[in-house]
Amino acid sequence: MRDHFITLFEYEAWANQRIVDTLRGLRGSPPERALERMTHIIDAQRIWLFRLDPGRAAPEDAPGRWTLDQIEHHGERIARDLIEHIGALSNQDLQRVISYSGRDGVSFRSKAADVLTHLAVHGAHHRGQIMVDLRGVVEAPPSIGFIVFTREEQRTPAV
């Protein structure tokens, strides 16, 4: 199960980077809404990692929108931290129930595996919204499906 989550968050990092690369390739400024959504995806990952591992420093509040450079920087960092954290977990740790509070102060309890699943689905949802934001802005939006990621991972370089 741990390896599955590592793969999911490798995919998250890959898909986020494909969006960043697409936004960098635009002739004009990226759509504000796309930057806001990317900020939200990465900020949510930082918040949930802190909830999973409260021994880490609490993340600073993100603004409503980071620059593309900030998105890339924070995205690379949180991807590395999430994958490292997951790699240190046992399957038993993934079933551990954590307690946390939402931004409104309401307390909840969830299994670590459910939190990680939520986080992966959350990112996919908002990247889908970004794909809508990019309609009419890019000629060909990037393919960011999980299966595309797995196909690319299976490729072997020509010798």
Q: Largest Cα–Cα distance in the chain?
A: 56
Question: Which tokens belong to 60?
Answer: 């600073």
Residue 134, classed as helix, strand or coil, is: coil
Model pLDDT for residues 95-121, shown as the tens digit of each residue: 999 999 888 889 999 999 999 999 999
Distance from C-alpha of 81 to C-alpha of 65, rounded to nearest angstrom: 21
Whether domain 2-154 has CATH 1.20.120.450: yes
Specify the pTM. 0.90
How many other CB atoms are there within 10 angstroms of residue 126's CB atom? 18
109 bridge partner residues: 99
The domain segmentation of the chain, as residue ranges, is 2-154
For residue 34, which of 46, 47, 45, 21 has the smallest C-alpha distance?
A: 21
Q: Considering the chain, what is the average pLDDT of its residues?
A: 92
99 bridge partner residues: 109
Handedness of CA 122, 128, 134, 140 (dihedral sign): positive
Model pLDDT for residues 38-67, shown as the tens digit of each residue: 999 999 999 999 999 988 888 887 778 899
